[in-house]
Homo-oligomer: A and B are copies of this chain.
Amino acid sequence: MSAESTRQEIVKAADRLFYERGFEATSFADIAAAVRLSRGNFYYHFKTKNDILDAVIALRLANTGRMLEAWESATDDPAERIRSFIRILVMNRAKILLYGCPVGSLCNELAKLHHAAKDDATSLFTLFRDWLARQFSALGREAESDALAMHVLMRSQGVAILATAFGDDDFIDREVEEMCAWLEAQRPAADHS
């Protein structure tokens, strides 16, 4: 097995475990067991736990970037693109009910730990934020595009938190529907000048 592919296996396993258990609660031994490597051997691939965290964030940034590009290629309609984002809540409902949002929970944990990588984790949000803002601009809401993007982000975070806390499946559907209705209402008023 090449070093690079082993490294990727480690990062993939760490990505999953950091999401499911949290960063602090996941030990070297847990990740090692997940990829069936000896615990000590980790030192060869990653010097510290923070190095793994950096690699996981980099992986998520790359994956998120690809996902956003795919949504952008799928349609020219900005509203439909935004709906693609909103539908994450439905697509990933099973995992969200158990573990919440990977980005939100990581940012929250790193904030509490005053962790150096907190800003890197936040940049995952920034990726979504800027992409959503571009879609709202394309929708003709240039002036408020960033505020609208933050609003969409805010709603999906809130839905994820409550869905996890209550384990409520239907709540997700209701709020997603309401979010889509809100989105339709955001189309700019027709210009009668």
CB nearest neighbor in B for A182: B182
Tell me, rounded to whole Å, the shortest Cβ–Cβ distance linking A46 to chain B.
Answer: 21
Q: A100-B108, A107-B165, A154-B175 are in contact. List 16 more A-B contacts (CB 8 A).
A: A21-B112, A99-B111, A99-B112, A104-B165, A105-B112, A108-B108, A109-B109, A121-B165, A125-B165, A147-B174, A153-B162, A154-B159, A156-B158, A157-B162, A158-B159, A158-B161
Beyond A112-B21, A112-B25, A113-B25, whether A122 also contacts B166 by CB under 8 A is yes
Tell me, rounded to whole Å, the shortest Cβ–Cβ distance linking A133 to chain B.
Answer: 13
Query: How many monomers of this protein are in the complex?
Result: 2
Question: Does the CB pair A112–B158 fall under 8 Å?
Answer: no
4 closest residue pairs by CB, A with B: A158-B158, A154-B158, A157-B158, A107-B165
User: What residues of chain A have their CB less than 8 Å away from a CB belonging to chain B?
Assistant: 20-22, 24-25, 98-100, 104-105, 107-109, 111-113, 121-122, 125, 147, 150-151, 153-159, 161-162, 164-166, 171, 174-175, 178
| Contact of A166 (CB < 8 Å), options: B125, B161, B165 | B125
Question: Does the CB pair B157–A111 fall under 8 Å?
Answer: no
**Residues of chain B within 8 A of A151, CB atoms compared:** 175, 178
